[in-house]
Amino acid sequence: MYYILMIEKQRRKMAEGNLTSMLEFILLGFSDLPNLREFLFAIFLVSYMSILIGNGLIILITKVDAGLQTPMYFFLGNFSFLEICYTSVTLPRMLTNLWTKKRNISFLGCSLQLCFLLILGNSECFLLGAMAYDRYVAICKPLYYPVIMNQKMCLQLLIGSWITGIPVQIALTYQIFSLPFCGSNKLNHIFCDIPPLLRLACGDTSKNEFSVYADAVLFAMVPFLLIVGSYVKIIVTILKLPSGTGRYKAFSTCSSHLIVVGLFYGSGIITYLRPKSSSSAGTDKVFSLFYSIVTPVFNPLIYSLRNKDVIAALRNLLTK
What is the secondary structure of 237-305 as a DSSP string? HHHT-S-HHHHHHHHHHHHHHHHHHHHHHHHHHHHHHS-GGG--HHHHHHHHHIIIIIHHHHHHHHHHH
Q: Would you say residue 20 has pLDDT above 50?
A: no
- Calpha distance 225→129 (Å, rounded): 9
- Calpha distance 302→80 (Å, rounded): 12
Give the torsion sign (CA, 87, 88, 91, 93). Answer: negative
Residue 277's pLDDT is what?
52
When pLDDT is cut at 50, 70 and 90, the band that residue 9 belongs to is low
Separate counts of helices (H) and strands (E) for the chain: 15, 3
**List of residues 6+ apart from 76 with CB closer than 8 A:** 58, 62, 131, 303
Q: Taking the mean position of all CA atoms in its chain, how far away is CA 157?
A: 17
Question: Higher model confidence: residue 43 or residue 249?
Answer: 43
Question: Higher model confidence: residue 8 or residue 144?
Answer: 144
- If we measure between CA atoms, which residue out of 55, 30, 32 comes closest to residue 43? 30
Question: Higher model confidence: residue 138 or residue 2?
Answer: 138
pTM comes to 0.85
Q: What is the CATH number of the domain that holds 180?
A: 1.20.1070.10
- Calpha distance 73→154 (Å, rounded): 11
Q: Would you say residue 19 has pLDDT above 50?
A: no
- Calpha distance 139→135 (Å, rounded): 6
Extended beta strands in the chain, E state = 24-27, 104-106, 186-187
Q: What is the pLDDT of residues 161-177, one digit of tens each?
A: 999 889 999 999 999 99
- If we measure between CA atoms, which residue out of 318, 292, 240, 317 comes closest to residue 66? 317
Give me the domain span that covers residue 10. 2-319
Phi, psi dihedrals of residue 217, rounded to the nearest 5°: -65, -45
> What separation in angstroms does the CA of 143 have from each of 93, 246, 270?
48, 16, 39
When pLDDT is cut at 50, 70 and 90, the band that residue 47 belongs to is very high
- If we measure between CA atoms, which residue out of 233, 290, 239, 236 comes closest to residue 262? 290
Number of domains in the chain: 1
User: Are residues 56 and 91 in contact, defined by beta-carbon separation less than 8 angstroms?
Assistant: no
Residue 15's pLDDT is what?
46
Q: Would you say residue 239 has pLDDT above 70?
A: yes
- Calpha distance 140→69 (Å, rounded): 21
> What separation in angstroms does the CA of 297 have from each of 48, 93, 180, 214, 267?
8, 18, 37, 29, 15
Q: What is the pLDDT of residues 71-108, one digit of tens each?
A: 988 999 999 999 999 999 999 999 988 888 888 888 89
Question: Higher model confidence: residue 195 or residue 309?
Answer: 195
- Calpha distance 108→102 (Å, rounded): 17
Summarize the confidence of residues 6-30 as an average pLDDT.
Answer: 60
* Least confident segment among 42-46, 153-157, 298-302: 298-302
Summarize the confidence of residues 101-122 as an average pLDDT.
Answer: 90
Describe the strand order of the beta sheet including 104-106 as a list of residue ranges. Answer: 104-106, 24-27, 186-187
Torsion angle, alpha carbons of 131, 126, 122, 231, to 10: -70
